Chains A and B, each alone.
Chain A
Amino acid sequence: SQKIEQNSEALNIQEGKTATLTCNYTNYSPAYLQWYRQDPGRGPVFLLLIRENEKEKRKERLKVTFDTTLKQSLFHITASQPADSATYLCALPRNQAGTALIFGKGTTLSVSS
């Protein structure tokens, strides 16, 4: 069955550094992959979507890569700030139709000043 793994449960970095989060998946060839941010007590917030034919996507300080050969996505936050502290989730479509997603368990990022 489809499986998503986010390698680190927690990541601690200093302000100004680049945070890199990893998402690996198996038994699957998704058409796209999404990244979400979730703050405590809140629902996830969509950040970026990258399609299978895109190698890299950027939005402000965020960058996502998608390697369909390695079955891996990397999520980078450059010049990180304490306000970036949150749990980051990667998600893949559950099937070809509809919006149902399979989520990784998330990586909790802590940025210290």
Chain B
Amino acid sequence: KAGVTQTPRYLIKTRGQQVTLSCSPISGHRSVSWYQQTPGQGLQFLFEYFSETQRNKGNFPGRFSGRQFSNSRSEMNVSTLELGDSALYLCASSFAGRGQETQYFGPGTRLLVL
């Protein structure tokens, strides 16, 4: 089975632009979560989707948004980029979205905002 894939792997943007990142979960998995990882803050939860519905949301501003499609693929969007948005963005998938399930992380998208 193919693992979680994320595209693009690397991205350079300038302040004020917007960006869309994509995540394809493992086949059959219906839950996708997104995390931001920075050296200072570590891994921080952004949001979780299950069967196209946002189930949990982290403490990030409204510039961060996401969605999930009927095939479970997910996208996250960051509008009006700021320098502090430079980070590794990771998505994770699980089969049924239950708390004690194993989550499988993708390799991440490294975003650099100049």
Contacts and interface: CB of A to CB of B under 8 A. Distances in A.
Interface string A97-110: 11111111110000
A98 B104 contact: no
B55 interface: yes
Interface residues of B, number: 28
A103 B94 CA distance: 17
Contacts of B58: 94, 100
Nearest to A43: B105
A99 B105 contact: no
A99 B98 contact: yes
A44 interface: yes
A49 B106 contact: no
Contacts of B97: 98-99
A106 B44 CA distance: 12
A101 B42 contact: no
A43 B99 CA distance: 19
Contacts of A94: 45, 56, 58
A13 B83 CA distance: 37
Nearest to B91: A43
A103 B42 contact: yes
Chain B interface, >50% SS class? strand
A46 B33 contact: no
B81 interface: no
Nearest to A47: B102
B48 interface: yes
Given A43-B4, A43-B90, A104-B42, A98 B55 contact: yes
A63 interface: no
A100 B45 contact: yes
A42 interface: yes
The 4 A-B pairs at the shortest CB distance, nearest first, are namely A43-B105, A103-B43, A105-B42, A100-B56
Interface of A: 31-32, 36, 41-46, 49, 51, 89, 91, 93-106
Given A99-B98, A100-B33, A100-B56, 15 more contacts: A31-B99, A36-B105, A46-B102, A46-B104, A89-B42, A93-B99, A98-B50, A99-B48, A99-B99, A100-B45, A100-B58, A101-B43, A101-B103, A102-B45, A103-B35
